[in-house]
Amino acid sequence: MEMHQLRYFAAVARTGNFSRAARECRVAQPSLSQQILKLEDEVGERLFERTQRQALLTPAGSLFLPHALSILEAAERGRQEIREMGGQVRGKILLGALPTIAPYFLPDIIRSFRTKYPGVELIIMRRPRNNSFVV
Amino acid sequence: MEMHQLRYFAAVARTGNFSRAARECRVAQPSLSQQILKLEDEVGERLFERTQRQALLTPAGSLFLPHALSILEAAERGRQEIREMGGQVRGKILLGALPTIAPYFLPDIIRSFRTKYPGVELIIMRRPRNNSFVV
DNA sequence: TAATATTACGTATTACGTAAAGATT
DNA sequence: AATCTTTACGTAATACGTAATATTA
C-alpha cells in the first residue's frame, strides 16, 4: 500500500472513471490501472466494479475509502503544519563575521534564512563583543 | 512522503536510534538514514536532532509524529477491515455445471471460494431448473 | 576504539509510458 | 466504430545493500 496508489484510488472513487482519474493524477492511464490492480491484489479484494460506463466502489472499496482519505488528509496536514511552523520559530541569533569576506557569501544565506524564519532576529557582529547592528 | 519513510520515521522516534530502528524495520541502516533524510528534505525541516547518544525529535518532528502515526494506523485498520469483511459477504449463488467435466475443475474453485466467503451458500445444479443440491 | 550517522556507488526493484489487445456498447 | 480497461514490454526512477567516510564519546 503506497501513497500514490491511495491517491489514484481516491481519484477513481471520486471520478468513477480510470481514464479521467489518470488525467487528474497526471499519469498514463495504464500506469494508474496497474497501481490500482496492485493495491487490490495486496488487500485481497476488488475495490472497483468495472462497468463500461463507470467504475463503482465495491463493498470492500467503500469500506476502504474513508481510510484512504484519512491517510491522504493526515499526510497533507502533517506537511502543512510543518510548513506553518516555519514562521513560528522565534528568537535571536548573534552571528560573528569578518567584514572582509562576509559580503561575498552572507547575503544569500541571510536572505534564505529570513524567508524561512521571519520570526528570528538576526544580529550580525563586525567583531566580537562590539559594534553589533541588526540586519 | 512514502509509506516506508513514515514507518522508518516512527521507528526512529520510538527507539531514539537509527541503528536500532533499522534492525526493527529489517533494513540496512544507511538505507533507513537515506529515507529519513529524503523525508526531511521533502517537508523542509529536520525531524531529528542527531546526538551521539540518541536521535531526538525536533519541534518539527514532534509536530509531524502524530500525523505519521495516524497514517500508519489508518493503513493498518483499512487492511484489517477488508480482511474481516471477507467473512461478512452473504447470499446464495446458483451455479450450473456439466456433470461430465465439473469434477475436474470445480473442486479447487469451490474450496477457495468457500474459504474466502464462508457466508455464501453455494448451490450447484446438475442441470437447469432441476435436482439442485447444496455442496 | 567503539558506536553512531552520512556519503558513495553499483544492483535490483518497480513505477512509468507507449503500443497492442480485450471487452462492451 | 467508439470508449474504456488490461496486458506486454522496454525504460527510467529509486530503494536497497556493501563499503568507505566522517563524527564524537
For chain B, report the end-to-end CA distance as a whole number of angstroms. 49
Q: Does A76 touch chain B (CB under 8 A)?
A: no
Q: Does A3 touch chain B (CB under 8 A)?
A: yes
Count CA atoms closer than 13 A to B106's CA, side-chain side.
15
Report the C-alpha gap between B65 and B14 in whole angstroms.
Answer: 10
H-helix or E-strand containing B77? helix B59-85
Q: Does B73 touch chain A (CB under 8 A)?
A: no
Scanning every strand, the nucleotide with its C1' closest to B34's CA turns out to be C6
Report the C-alpha gap between A47 and A36 in whole angstroms.
Answer: 8
Q: What is the pLDDT of residue B90?
A: 67
Share above pLDDT 90 across residues of chain A, in percent, rounded to a whole number:
58
Q: What is the pLDDT of residue B134?
A: 43
Closest residue to C4 (CA, C1′): B52
Which residues in chain A touch residue B63, judged by CB atoms under 8 angstroms apart? 78, 81-82, 85
Model confidence at A56, in pLDDT bands (50, 70, 90)? very high
Q: What is the pLDDT of residue A87?
A: 65
Whether the CB of A47 is less than 7 Å away from nucleic strand D comes out as no
For residue A103, give the C-alpha cell. Answer: 559580503
Report the C-alpha gap between A7 and A24 in whole angstroms.
Answer: 10
For residue B129, give the C-alpha cell. Answer: 431448473
Query: Which of A75-89, A100-114, B87-101, B115-129 is predicted most confidently?
Result: A75-89
8 Å CB contact between A9 and A68: yes
pLDDT exceeds cutoff 60 at B94: yes
| C-alpha B83: how far from chain center | 9
Give the number of other CB atoms < 10 A from CB of residue B77. Answer: 14
Q: For B16-30, b where at least 16 C-beta lie within 10 A, e where not — what string?
A: ebbebbbebbebeee
- pLDDT per residue over A61-118, tens digit each? 999 999 999 999 999 999 999 988 866 666 777 777 777 777 777 777 788 777 767 7
